[in-house]
Structure 1
Amino acid sequence: MRHIRLLRCRPVRVLWLSMTLSVLGDRLYGLAAMWVVYAATGSSALMGLVAAVEALPYIVLGGARSLMARFACWSSLAWIDAGRAAVAVGVPLLWSPDLTGFAAMLALVLLLGALTALFEPNLAALIPQLVEPEEVAQVSCLFDLTARVAAVVGQGCVGVLLQYMSEIQLFAIDGFTFAVSAFALGWLGRRTAAGRTAPPRAAMGPEGVRGRSVLRAHRRVGVAIAVHGVALFAAAVSTVGLPPLLVSRFGQGAVGYGLALAATGAGGLAGNLLTGHLPRTWPWLATYCLAWTASGLALAGLGVADSMTAVVALCVASGLLFPVCAVTLRTHLSRFRPAERLRLLTVDQTASRTAGTAGLLLLPYVVDAAPAGSFVGAGVLLSALSLTGWWAGGRSGEGPPAVVEAA
């Protein structure tokens, strides 16, 4: 019911529908890129290379405060999505199953990653300006739902789609969804001319704010960002290790892979609906760290699962916890003033992507050597460090963030 009430606001409704479609196409793109490389080479290391190339711009652009602040408006995001549409459509035009085609794909993936690295933190920083301060938690949950819906629909049907079209054709679908998103963002930019539902770009400052100074004042946020990085590092095991695990242990192909991902997506959808009803009195950092602790246990469980039924159940359990983590942190960061919010979101994106890229580069070799053991090790690491983060955060005293004023 809370989601329905927010969707009665036309700007929220248009943005949510367009972002849902865009994320759906992006999920298809991600699955296509990973699966086509594994199907062509049988190498989890090359799968990790593709994902690492996409993540590289997130690391490089994390310190570009001035550049990031230049895109802090709806119209700028519309141009970015138009660029993403052009890049995504270029992939099926340039791809070929040889070294030249693989190099072209890496170049386009790198460019698409750069555009997305500019897009995501600015979008997340602007969304809270569409609603009143007391509705920030609900709108964070609503837009987290886009990823959950896309996971169920996109990941659930990828196995079926791959029976009727090539992986490369999925990139064309992704380009279409980016184009739709660009039109929606352009409309929102025209409707909110003069910054009626977003802070003027000048409010971000010509150079933004320094993330280090904000993190020193809010150490628990730093702890949460560190835990997020550990989680993304551990998640690399699932990204590159799930296909080999399903093939070697259960004899599954693309359909089994899609089933496991769909189970995660279905759990995420249910978890999103439950997250909106969590008691507001729960300490945010404790909720965040304990959710990642449980997620680590589910990840470790995949390494000892003895049937596809167990794999599906563990994927559902993992999916249930992801929205708790995402919405809890995003809601807390949304309480900061616009410039601080954008910087913290960028720092979180940079830290998590850096850790995730490190995992994608290092863990595939562990997966190739011991697929099951890599899941157990990564899960135990995530659970242990999440509990450590909870303990460290509890010993850190700090005041609340400056709450943003109503838009």
Structure 2
Amino acid sequence: MAKQYDVAVIGAGAAGMMCAAVAAARGKRVVLLDHATRLAEKIRISGGGRCNFTNVGAGPANFLSENPNFCRSALSRYTPQDFLGLVKKYRIAWHEKHKGQLFCDDSSEQIIGMLRAECQQGDVAWRMPCKIGGIEKLDAGFLITAEGGDIACDSLVIATGGLSIPKIGATDLGYRIAQQFDLQIVAPRPGLVPLTFDGPSWEAFAPLAGIALEVEVSTGGTGKGKKNKGGGHFREDLLFTHRGLSGPAILQISSYWQPGTPIVLDLLPEMDVAEELISSKTTVKKQLGNVLAQWLPARLAEGLLLANGFAPDARLADMADAKLRKLGDAINRWAIVPTGSEGYKKAEVTLGGVDTRELSQQTMMANKVPGLYFIGETVDVTGWLGGYNFQWAWASGFAAGSSV
């Protein structure tokens, strides 16, 4: 005979534990199920092991979705300050890095321990590791066929995450459950992921692995500093890798990038390179490579010159203004087309997921399946790099936990 609960939450990650804790605090009988042997592995490895658990500036503008206003309700009802209050309650030391990112001073294990303690206070039952055999809709509630015995519940919350980082157990279970109940899915793809390049146009840059610098990056734009309306535009660090480009700048723009289209890099965002070179022609008696090496890493300066048909030992004074403008464009508006990405194995998040038009933005419940909820990364809401995705996990988990 199936064991009866008010609420079953499938997925014991950030969103799932938050939801279970909030529901249990309201007096609900809650069971939390997960197929993993180790709890909340994605929290554990985040932020270099210190968990970038939120961002003080998190708001709707920091999230991508086909329905961009959907996240507004949940984010307004559970804010970064609300989660920070929980962190302070457990006396977890934390610090703020640049751009509002909050990290544990010590270890991400503290966040896991805090969430587990919140669940234990509400007597949440645990099934872990536990494989799900199937889900059936009953007249009132759901029946879950599960390892260790069947479970009947009035409300079912799906918090199974996305497809990113399969080595720690990512699966498509949440999407399969949504499809079982005829809910639309926005096609998933890797997000916050390094981009790859190959072919002759990349040969001059392949040896530059390890070089890093601050850049501006966008998914388009027609001039220096111009933003591509509706696209991404970030100022962050860029890292050259053996296979392409990474670093925060590339992870951020990868969520906006569409295959077959270029990204645009400004390698010297504080400078109009063409104007600087032209105005220096009469006063600077140096080779072009040495001039650029004043502003850029020397190996990168040489690679850019070679890739654009310039001899590094050419004298600045001998260069025509038109050629220097071409070189300036190559540095301030370097448009390159990635051939792909590193995929889910290196992606920090999964874009797409359960179409939010299928869900209530107040409660996260499926509009046409009473009692069925989807939260966290399973849903088509994806945050920027920097603690935003955890804030969505807390906020969406709170919204569902307050409603079930």
Q: TM-score range by the shorter chain?
A: under 0.3
Q: Which has the higher helix share?
A: 1
What's the TM-score once normalised by structure 1's chain length?
Answer: 0.26
What's the TM-score once normalised by structure 2's chain length?
Answer: 0.27
